[in-house]
Amino acid sequence: MAKKSAKMKKSKAPKEKPHTPPAKEKASKQGAETEELLSSEVVYQGKLFRVLHDRLIEPGGKKSERDVIRHNGSVVILAIDKSKSKKDPWIVMERQYRHAAKQYLWELPAGKLDAGEEPLVGAQRELEEETGYRAKKWKPLVEYYGSPGFLGESMKVFQAEGLIAGDAHPEEDEEIEFRLVKLSEIVKMIEKGAIKDGKTLCSVLLYARKLEKKRKK
């Protein structure tokens, strides 16, 4: 009996459940985690944006210092003409020189918002200023951040239809060439690498996907 009892397995102690720190537990209950901003200093103020040096505690509890570009936000307009074809509509495209990219780029019409300006109002203004077009029907397509690692600029994309042609009146520092291009041609340009502008890639491909899904229904 002594030998038999010596070979008996010892019962294992129950495993402890991983402990969730109170702060994270509280955050998870609230459904969101937020940072704690310790200080924020404007290190550059320009016409279009400002650069801040922020000290903060991130949601996970890590102390951090970040240089962030703050911006009023921008609007992008996917202006669509379905008068000739609903399956392959024409899109208003612009070509202009971009100093930061050191090249001409094909893009959708877009522009910055004024402080406190409603995004839809800004989109309507930008489309008419840059191309002369107005639109009867407007709806949001998508919102995204182009480079959220350091750029706080949100870009709101609007889909505009029922186009009415007019006279463009761009700003003095803008030299913009615009034209109507078939959606299928823009997609081909994207596939060939001829379009490098992020807002145009995102907006056109999303719209093309939505249009294709609509056809299949």
Catalytic residues: 172
**199 vs 110: CA distance, rounded Å:** 9
Closest CA to 158 of 100, 109, 98, 194: 109
Return the number of other C-beta atoms located less than 10 Å from residue 92's C-beta. 23
Q: How far apart are CA 77 and CA 185, in angstroms?
A: 18
> 158 with 77: CB under 8 angstroms?
yes
CA-to-CA dists, residue 160 to 41, 78, 128, 157, angstroms: 39, 6, 12, 10
Contact 93, 76 (CB under 8 A): no
* CA-angle at 81, arms to 76 and 83, nearest 5°: 170
Please say whether the dihedral angle defined by the alpha carbons of residues 82, 87, 88 and 92, taken in this order, is positive or negative: positive
